Amino acid sequence: MSRTTADERQADVIVVGAGPAGSTAAYHLARGGLDVLLLEKTVFPREKVCGDGLTPRAVRSLIRMGLDLDEPGWVKNHGLRIVGGGHQIELPWPDLASYPSFGLVRTRLDFDDILARQAVKEGARLHERTAVTGPVKDDRTGRVVGVTARTMDDAGRKTGDEREFRAPVVIAADGNSARLALSMGWTKRDDRPMGVAVRTYYTSPRHDDDWLESWLELWDGAPGAPGSQLLPGYGWIFGVGDGTANVGLGILNTSSAFGKVDYKDVLRSWLDNTPEEWGFREPNRVGEVRGAALPMGFNRKPHYADGLLLAGDAGGMVNPFNGEGIAYAMESAELAADVIVQAMRRPKGAARELALRAYPAALDQAYGGYYTLGRIFASMIGNPHVMKYGTRYGLPRKTLMRFTLKLLANLTDPRGGDSMDRVINAMSKMAPVA
């Protein structure tokens, strides 16, 4: 039986934004038997600023969505190569029961489209070119019962009249803009770290490198040479496998240089001192140098109130240790979907609300203490001399670096792990919730 126009705008759940968080939530909600509307302001495929690197945490979420990672386009990597302090070390992803032992690279141009189509395949209803303009609230209770939206044209302009989409539960997965949360008055917390990342692509013989590469020291001249200055932040080189490499850098607001330097100039200064044969020079650049904010460590709360849940960057869920966002976007989205599926099987009212309130508690249990440790770490490495000292004396110690990789990438077995896992897990449990 076909739907009426009114029915097309009604659902059990509305998900705002079809990035990694939104599409993952829509997939698991549909798989749980709920009617899901997935609203995306752009049209696929579309670009997003990202390093394109996926750690084993993200890979696990992709596997849980039933994606075939042996298909062409997925570039596997063995682990992380770290460069700094005159040293270079390759650290394989750890062998764990909880996570696969490989990472991936895939451009966001492909990646987000694949996730959205997987959600649609499971039964979610995707509306592209649909820009959400605000929440719809129940006049009596103030509870969110839907959203208003307008159609977007090819130039990215809102057109036509506002339409209402209705559902008893809404997930805001609208990225670091967090427009829906802001319309509710949920502002970001300034006592949480914030990062900025810039990246671009170059044609490069390093496009098929099967290690993710991280540079922990950036210089505006030859490394360590007289007159060269140590720049804030860290850089990355991720081979995309299609003849290009994704190259970029990140800087934290705990650095005194945050907001005071031209990040694009910092990127060029660093790359000008890499070997010329790598190809990271202007004639080989493909596309623009683009930047984006990285909201970290639960920098926006509440994660649930009055029928609205925040997932991914909208809730500030980027890992403060390493700037990774996709894994936590997908994991938080699956947590939200699990909670909502359970809630929607209960009668309306107090029983359903009780179930929905489990979402913030689940996030706190999963990441709360770990993100608190990450805040401390981010504060420390905001001083470039701390980073310089750590790389010079830490990188040669392989056991220490294996521990550091597990800590920074949040890759441990919660039960039955090795001594490193037990130490990291204990630290996270002892730390207060972020």
Cβ atoms of 232 and 257 closer than 8 Å: yes
List of the chain residues with pLDDT < 50: 1-2
Domain layout of the chain by residue ranges = 5-78+106-189+297-373
Distance CA 231, CA 261 (A): 10
Q: Output the CA torsion 232→234→240→243 (10° steps).
A: 50
User: For residue 64, how far is the Cα from the chain centroid?
Assistant: 17
Distance CA 240, CA 208 (A): 7
Q: Which two tokens stand for residue 77?
A: 């990597």
CA distances to 4, 9, 317 from 303, in Å: 33, 25, 10
pLDDT of the residue at 4 = 53
Cβ atoms of 293 and 176 closer than 8 Å: yes
pLDDT of the residue at 319 = 96
DSSP string, 139-153: TTT--EEEEEEEEE-
DSSP string, 191-242: TS-EEEEEEEEEE-GGGG-SSEEEES-EESSSTT-TT--EESSEEEEEE-SS
> What does the DSSP 8-state code read for residue 38?
E
Instruction: Please give the helix or strand (H or E) that residue 13 lies within, else none.
Output: strand 13-16
Produce one character per residue of 374-409: b if its CB has 16 or more CB atoms within 10 Å, e if not. Answer: bbebbeebbebeebbebbeebbeeeeebbbbbbbbb
Upstream peptide bond of 295 is cis (omega within 30 degrees of 0): no
Cβ atoms of 289 and 280 closer than 8 Å: no
Q: Output the CA torsion 354→356→358→359 (10° steps).
A: -170
Distance CA 156, CA 243 (A): 30
Q: Which CATH fold would you assign to the domain 5-78+106-189+297-373?
A: FAD/NAD(P)-binding domain (3.50.50)
In sequence order, which residues have a C-beta less than 8 Å from that of residue 109 and are 6 or more positions away? 45, 46, 47, 48
DSSP string, 87-125: EEEEEEPP--SSS-S-EEE--HHHHHHHHHHHHHHHT-E
